[in-house]
Amino acid sequence: MNLKKTITSFYLLTFICFACSNNDASENTISNRQFGVFKVLEDNSTVEMNGEVTSSSLSDFNQLEQAFPNIKTINIKNCDGSSDDVVNLQLSQKVHQKGINTHLMNNGLIASGGTDFFLAGVKRTKGSNTKIGVHSWAGDNEVATDFPVGHANHLPYINYYVSVGFTQQLAEDFYYFTINAAEAESMHWMTEAEINQYGLITP
């Protein structure tokens, strides 16, 4: 037996297997483009969002960002709210801090927490035939309008709007508009005049 030849063949086979394994891992990372409600498009810098923000959405986005660190834009197809408002605000602030733009697609819809998420975009645009909905929040048998203007329970949302670029006055004006526009069980679909008035679309 040629021992030298056998050892050389073993190392060659090991190297090939290792290389194949690494290639498979890389391909698996790239092929996995769905992270909860987020799907990374082929350009690796654009995300399509479709669905409600949940308690796992921040974790999903963190995983997405690790695999695709150069995300520039989130195109929203439909996001009619959030089942976890705390996570939604945390996720939204992270999107803003990363300098990501948001775009509401043609025939797209955002409402409630979905509207808050859209506002995270450093640049915010929308297509045609879109719907943007707002209403009062509710929880623990209480609704937003149970509390007077200036109450601490209003601050998380007002502070969030300020954190994504609203002036203090505009943040307060928009927030109080939303909670008075419709009850928690209903929805107010904003007019183009209202969308312009509150600066939802950036110049």
Within 10 Å of residue 43's Cβ, how many Cβ atoms? 9
The single-letter code of the amino acid at 143 is: V
CA angle in degrees (0–180, nearest 5) for 90-93-96? 155
Domain locations along the chain: 1-31, 32-197
pLDDT in tens, 94-120: 999 999 999 999 999 999 999 999 999
Record the pTM: 0.85
CA distance 164 to 178: 17
Confidence of residue 31 (pLDDT cuts 50, 70, 90): low
The CA–CA distances, whole Å, from 31 to 24, 35, 42, 49, 121 equal 10, 11, 10, 17, 26
Length of the chain measured in residues: 203
Backbone angles phi, psi at 60, to 5 degrees: -60, -45
The per-residue pLDDT for range 44-87, each reduced to its tens digit, is: 999 999 999 999 999 999 999 999 999 999 999 999 999 999 99
CATH of domain 32-197: 3.90.226.10
